[in-house]
Amino acid sequence: LKSIHKLVMNMADSGLITRQEIVSMIPPLLLDVHADHAIFDMCAAPGSKTAQLLEQIMASSIFEFGKANTDRPKGFVVANDADPKRAFMLTHQMNRLNTANIIIVNHDA
């Protein structure tokens, strides 16, 4: 089990997979996100929902508009967290996704 745990952690650190609780997966699915949407995630840290929202924006750009995955969609996410430490962790998590379609802020929403 240690080798599997290490593999999962390495894949998560490199951005190949995202570990997420089912309860966190539901809100982004219900929002019906599209490639041109602007989304404000007021309590974004640690970032699993935010990552899912960004993935939906990117996927929508590819499947709805037939754009290549190298084309940048117009949609974006403003990800906020009131706690500076959690906002820093959020920044670290979002860096794994390598996208310019996110703005991270640290403000009391």
Exposure string for 11-25, b = 16+ CB within 10 A, e = fewer: eeeeeeeeeeeeeee
Judge whether residue 2 has pLDDT over 90.
yes
Joined tokens for residue 73? 């969609």
Q: What is the pLDDT of residue 80?
A: 96
Q: Which ranges of 16-83 would DSSP assign to H, the alpha helix?
A: 22-30, 48-65
Mean pLDDT for the stretch of residues 2-6? 94
CB 39 within 8 A of CB 31: yes
Helix (H) / strand (E) containing 105? strand 102-105
Judge whether residue 70 has pLDDT over 70.
no
Can you tell me which residue has the tokens 């996704």? 97
Sign of CA dihedral 37, 88, 24, 3: positive
Distance of CA 38 to the CA centre of its chain: 13
CA neighbor of 89 nearest in space, from 43, 42, 47: 47
CB 45 within 8 A of CB 10: no
Confidence of residue 69 (pLDDT cuts 50, 70, 90): low
Q: Model-level pTM?
A: 0.78
